[in-house]
Structure 1
Amino acid sequence: MKVRFYFITITLACLVLTACNPQTNQIEKTQAPQVIEWEYQIAYQRGMEAVTWSLPAVSMICMRNASFNLGGGYNTVYWLSEIPTAKQEALTANNQTPYANVYLNTKNGPVVLDIPPASNKTALFGSAVDIWQEPIADIGPAGADAGKGGKYVFLPPDYDGSEIEGCINVPSGSYQVFVALRCIPIGGATFKEAAEYAKNINAYSLAEINNPPQGNYIDIAGKHLPTLPDYDFSYFGYIKELMDTEPLQKRDMVMGGMLASIGIEKDKPFIPNDKVKSALTKAIADGYNYLEYMFETPGFSLIKQWEGRQWMNIREPSNDGFVFDEGEYLLMDERGSLFHWATFFPRHLGKATAYLNAMQDADGNLLKGEKQYKLTVPAEVPARDFWSVIVYSKKTKAWIYNDLGRVGLSSYDKENMKLNDDGSVDIFFSETAPEGMESNWIPTNGEDFFLLFRFYGPQESYFDKSFVLPDVQLLK
């Protein structure tokens, strides 16, 4: 028995050794080593990260370029004399108040922005941001001038001089500064009367402060303004411009090295070979899809407003408001997610305007352009001034083109809408108008969409969440 046991043991051992021998293992012999195209993989991965990282700045560059294509340039005031339409292709703009935008460049020294005091017909509300859309100054009644007007002096990143006396000094982390202002009608003023007040804004170099030049004003009403980034290979050209024209901040040094590895370096030509170009083309397409994922997923730029409801509020990323590097590291995903669908956030929300986002119906399904929906707005909404609801394209995050030219409705429109017996109002969203409810209808033109509900002058029941807005209901 012992002999037989030893024989069996030796035989099994031989079989095991034979199986482990690569020369006799036919399975292992037929497996070819995996070949990885490292040049492609690295360009793709670093391109993906670059999309999310650069988005706030690329968005500003595209907005600036669209405005400059209408004439003017830095220090020009671009204003709207009439209610905007879908031709002004901007991320989630509102159509209720006139806008005025100014683009500044401090590369050659500080730049002055004259802000007029609030009048009996208009008050200016807005903010100035650097190229990364980090707020550097709130302007108007909620800003440093407190509605009294003043001279804001924007200082370049490398400024080493003294403060400018009698002015509101604003250091900037980038040479370029972007200013967006809303001309709020007050005292019964019309849209046009409020818009005209933009002509009291002026921008010029600090050297001209004692003898300011006449301002340059371009009315963009009725003109095509394509400010949206193109998510194709051209996107990396904007990143190249960013690297050439702005200082690389310490927090971004690693990204600078990653960009250099794929050929994007300051003051050097960007001429990628076919393999890298192919990888970056895929990276921008997948980068857009990742931004969409973050847009749809609570926790990045949006959070649930009420438990069990679909409405979402905007998530402030830090204790200091809309600042993404307050802590030990840069909140790159949260920043990219927010500026994928919005621009020009003040440091803190809530004083002048509050926003709620709906991209799902009451059952949690994304809103579809081919379907019909209804939102019932209660008779009493905690908005001291007015409320509005606007439809935006899910794809572009801008207004949807439609034959009616209607992008939203507001409490100002209630006198023309059909109200329910309790004073509430039903607003419909669909490709075609519900019969007899045309005045209560916002066209979707068949595009998938989402909503922003704005509270102008939000009141306490909004903040303590005792006011609850009904979810969007699918009709058919």
Structure 2
Amino acid sequence: MPTQDTVQRLYDSMDFQRAVQCYLWAIPIVGMESARQTLIDNAGARSGDLVLVTGYRDVSVMMGSNVTTPYVFAHFDLTDRPLVFEYPKGATAGSLIDWWDRPLTDVGAPAPDKGEGAVFVLVGPGQKVPDDLPAGARVLRSRTQRALLFTRGLDPDPEKVRAVFETAKIYPVGQTPDGGRTRLLRFKAEGRLTSMEHPHGFAYWQRLASALKGESVEDRDRFFAAMLQPLGLEFGKSFEPDARQRKILEKAAVVGEATAKAGAFRKRVPDMRYRDDSHWEYLIPQSYSNEQDVPGGTMFEERTAFFYEITGTSAAVLSKEPGSGSAYLAAYYDKTGAAFDGGKTYRLRVPSGVPAKLFWSVTLYETDTRGLIQNEQQIVDRTSRQDLKKNADGSIDIVMGPKAPEGLEQNWIPTRPGKSWFTYFRLFGPLEPYFERSWSLPDIEPQTS
């Protein structure tokens, strides 16, 4: 028979292993809860309030985002009753997603309403679909008690985007929109802003406990729910771990975060490379399903890597229709295979004729936060919409480094010594050569002088 000491060591080891796996399992829902907390802390947003996020300072708290156009967020609590959402007419694109980051529907231009506006009724799990639905309403049944709006205005002018969303209405079923105007908020102008990045250490588990509050266990998650119980974290109960549990959770958070980072920046998912002749790879696996569950299992590793880097997804980002949606290529290493160093200078030569119907952009992110790179100049990207200096053959050299390159200042993205970074190359309205992989994007090359 095992001794008591052996038993305790084995249980501690088993609970630690389980905690690491639960850390990875929880990344999507912790990301959703972090987004909600960001809206509460930075804008005082309640359920059903809209929040306009625009400009370098505000967008810096988001993961994997860019500053080309403003964003609009809202979190919804469906615990008490369904909500009506009169989504506005106008140039927007985004999605409504549940608390596991699964889209309920796309909204705006790429959605079925084609930017003409729509009326949605958000119904929580176990709730009856109301009889008194607004005319033309579309029922969206969420599998979670909470949901999130993640969308953006397609016009770069924040005031024009504000004008669009000031026409939106959010109210409980059975009431009229005249009962009170839906608030359109902004982040506070002073003080430190809360980030959407996943919390570190023990705070991660506190955020997870908050995320699971009021939620039920889905069939696919029953084993994870069981593994969390010996760690003091249970669905529907307060989170008060003892000293032993807390020690294990703190250690597991360090290993879990390191594992998530490895899974994101050294993906072992098949067919991630865009082409064999460069280090550029797809941000989103080509076989990815927004439902996350596919025949034979759940896309556990794929969703872990994806949602460690970003918050929110939609059908549009998975579109394979040329000229619609957007496409994302990621680079975490230079031509030599080394990680990007903020104290060194690099060059990306973007060839002429990028297969993007609308425009392209290259944006830099800090490795530790997955948010916009921070610099005094507040320059994080370069896009084909800008007046960039071109080479004789029509190609464009984008320079990333701590010092402005003489003669290429308008093509420069500043980096910070001591900070590593990675980048996304976005194609808005990607065309056939991108999908066929006949178009090539060269590696980012380190510069010696």
Contact 2:225/2:235 (8 A) holds in 1: no
Matched, 1:177 2:147: yes
Unaligned runs of 5+ in 1: 1-32
Deviations 1:173-198 (A, max 9, x none): 1011101111012xxx7453234322
Q: CA deviation at 1:421?
A: 1.5
Aligned length: 433
Instruction: Choose the corresponding residue for 2:84, options 79, 93, 112.
Output: 112
Instruction: Choose the corresponding residue for 2:426, options 442, 450, 454.
Output: 454
Code of the aligned partner of 1:41: S
Bigger Rg, which one: 1
Q: How far apart in 1 are the matches of 2:237 and 2:326?
A: 44
Matched, 1:420 2:391: yes
Instruction: Choose the corresponding residue for 1:268, options 237, 243, 248.
Output: 237
Contact 1:100/1:180 (8 A) holds in 2: yes
Instruction: Choose the corresponding residue for 2:16, options 41, 44, 47.
Output: 44
Instruction: Choose the corresponding residue for 1:193, options 143, 147, 160.
Output: 160
Aligned position for 1:168: 138
Instruction: Choose the corresponding residue for 2:114, options 137, 146, 153.
Output: 146
Pairs within 5 Å for 1:344-359 = 344-348=312-316, 349-350=318-319, 351-359=324-332
Code of the aligned partner of 2:49: T
Q: How far apart in 1 are the matches of 2:80 and 2:8?
A: 48
Aligned position for 1:439: 410
Q: Please give the secondary structure, in 2, of the residue aligned with 1:284.
A: helix
Instruction: Choose the corresponding residue for 1:155, options 123, 128, 134.
Output: 123
Pairs within 5 Å for 1:222-301 = 224-300=193-269
Distance 1:85 1:376, change over 3 A: farther
Q: Please give the secondary structure, in 2, of the residue aligned with 1:89.
A: coil
Deviations 1:251-277 (A, max 9, x none): 111111111121112343332222221
The farther-off stretch of 387-396 and 422-431 is 422-431
Q: How far apart in 1 are the matches of 2:373 and 2:271?
A: 22
Aligned position for 1:30: none
Aligned position for 1:20: none
Contact 1:112/1:209 (8 A) holds in 2: no
CA RMSD of aligned residues (A): 2.2
Q: CA deviation at 1:242?
A: 2.8
Q: CA deviation at 1:206?
A: 1.2
Q: How far apart in 2 are the matches of 1:152 and 1:146?
A: 15
Q: Please give the secondary structure, in 2, of the residue aligned with 1:234.
A: helix
Q: CA deviation at 1:160?
A: 2.8
Q: Please give the secondary structure, in 1, of the residue aligned with 2:45.
A: coil
TM-score (norm 1): 0.86
Matched, 1:342 2:310: yes
Unaligned runs of 5+ in 2: none
Q: CA deviation at 1:146?
A: 2.4
Deviations 1:402-445 (A, max 9, x none): 100111111121x2x32211222111111222233222111121
Instruction: Choose the corresponding residue for 1:323, options 281, 286, 291.
Output: 291
Distance 1:46 1:298, change over 3 A: closer
The farther-off stretch of 87-96 and 206-215 is 206-215
Contact 2:30/2:208 (8 A) holds in 1: yes
Q: How far apart in 1 are the matches of 2:7 and 2:114?
A: 64
Distance 1:91 1:455, change over 3 A: same
Q: How far apart in 2 are the matches of 1:138 and 1:155?
A: 16
Contact 2:232/2:245 (8 A) holds in 1: no
Contact 2:327/2:430 (8 A) holds in 1: yes
Q: Please give the secondary structure, in 2, of the residue aligned with 1:270.
A: coil
Q: Please give the secondary structure, in 1, of the residue aligned with 2:55.
A: coil
